[in-house]
Amino acid sequence: MTETAGTPSGPDEPPAPEGAPPEPKATYGPGTGASATGTGVVRRRRRWLRYTALGVAVLVLGAGGVGWAAYQKLNGNITTDTDAADELARFEKERPTALVNGAQNILLLGSDTRAGPGNREYGRDPGTQRSDTTILLHLAADRHSATAVSIPRDLMVDIPGCLRSDGSRTQPQFAQFNWAFEFGGTACTIRTVEKLTRIRVDHHMVVDFAGFKDMVDAVDGVQVCIRAPIDDTDAKVALPPGLRSLNGEQALGYVRARKSLGNGSDTDRMDRQQQFLAALVNKVQSNDVLLNPTKLYPVLDAATSSLTTDPGLASLRGLYDLVRGMRDIPTERVQFLTVPRQSYTYDANRDELVEPAADQLFTRLRTDSPVVVDPRRTESSGPGEARTRTDSPATDQPSASEQPPAEEPPSTDEDGDGSGEDGSDEKPDDPAPTPSPVPTFRGNTAAGSTCK
């Protein structure tokens, strides 16, 4: 229909008969796009509504398309480790059984491969790779705590016979832990960890150097406390002491530096890795990254682009379910520690477990029992040896020896025959059962990652 300016009738109104007196018209106040008398408002309002509805539909459909495209992109970023899944399935009968429904154990592996874009600058590629960092992350069934346990790369362990990339198999042997990744990749590492700890590994993730840097940059850097100057040419990092915000490149150097610090052992490096992860947890939670799609997308893009995972986590849905269970854990209940270890008896450059402390730790993780960490260390207790205490891990109550004596309850033995109120032979002053001691391990929480 061709519109004529000043025509008072709407599109659904028939024209008035010729010679008939004009019908009285309602008047409207002027508005945007309306004449001073408002006679075109009704039609234009209807048209505006139609255009608005069409525009909203286009935006919704467009946003849905963008959302789906983004979802598909992120999903496609993740590399699925089907080879490890197939190999683990072959040895299902020898793997430990999960004891607590709902608890999750995820093996996090940092690969030192020099293959691929962004990794060659850290050294030559010999065609092999080893696990530069290995962390067993335990998520409690109630999702009220998370415990990340570092496994030293130089720990001497029993490595089972593993499938090599060329189809051959290695012989079972006693060797340093990170050889397992070189022998047979993630499947061999998982089987080695399960043999060592008797803990069922539910999922695994592998990230390389470039992926680590990208994730740090995606959260705009991470602030850490550097207690001594770092100048390590091998790790390509030079940092002054103090509270510093590190970008991806600096962060990678910080967690890799070893030879220029302390005695050059891997122990201090694991401590720094744990401190960095604690600071990263703080950064993500304090900036509401997990609740802000604008902040979350670049993090997801960087993370998914660098991850190789088992089939159960190789999708946004799998990762979302994992993160959703972690996002409400308070930082003081996110704990970091290293397995109790000491220098290997026959080679000071290798490590061995400290017992019974290591078995205590593995048992508590396996049964989803609380784990308590304490940053304080005494020389007499060794580098990773557990101490014990009897207070509950959920409270800060003093130990039994520090508590004032309780008032003795009034006697209920009214008849003087030595029996209780219910006539039993148990005496009111019989000692209560002594609570089992809770092992305390050297470690830190994500809440204690700033300079003091």
Residues for the chain: how many in total?
A: 452
- Between CA 101 and CA 90 the distance in angstroms is 23
Task: Return mean pLDDT, the chain.
Answer: 74
SS3 content of the chain, % helix, strand, coil (to 5): 35, 20, 45
List the one residue out of 381, 387, 372, 388 whose CA is nearest residue 342: 381
State how far the Cα of 55 lies from the Cα of 265, in Å rounded to an integer.
63
Mean pLDDT of 335-351: 93
Cβ within 8 Å of residue 347, ≥6 positions away: none
What pLDDT is attached to residue 320? 76
CA distance 176 to 187: 16
pLDDT of residue 364: 96
What is the C-alpha separation between 71 and 69, in angstroms, rounded? 5
What does the alpha-carbon distance between residue 207 and residue 190 come to, in Å, rounded to a whole number? 15
- Whole-number pLDDT of residue 135: 93
Nearest to 182 by CA among 196, 194, 170: 170
Q: What angle do CA 391, 364, 393 make, to 5 degrees?
A: 20
168 SS3 class:
coil
Instruction: Write the DSSP string, 65-87.
Output: HHHHHHHHHHHHHPEE-HHHHHH
| Residue 8, pLDDT above cutoff 80 | no
Percent of the chain with pLDDT over 70: 63
Mean predicted confidence (pLDDT) in 396-412: 38
**Phi/psi class of residue 227: alpha, beta or left (left: φ > 0; alpha: ψ in -120 to 50)?**
alpha
Q: Residue type at 437?
A: P
Angle between helices 316-326 and 293-306 (to 10 degrees): 120
Residue type, 79: T
Give pLDDT tens digits for 59-79.
444 444 556 777 788 888 889
- Does pLDDT of 177 surpass 60? yes
pLDDT at 363: 96
pLDDT bracket for residue 301 (50, 70, 90): confident
pLDDT of 102-126, one tens digit each? 999 999 998 765 444 544 444 444 4
> Given this model, what pLDDT does residue 282 score?
82
Paired tokens of 32: 């945007």
Let me know: does 386 contact 349? Beta carbons within 8 Å: no
Please give the Cα distance from 62 to 69 (Å, whole number): 10
pLDDT tens, residue by residue, 128-144 = 455 678 999 999 999 99
Q: From CA 271, how far away is CA 375, in angstroms rounded?
A: 11
Q: Are 450 and 244 in contact (CB under 8 A)?
A: no
Chain center to CA of 359: 24
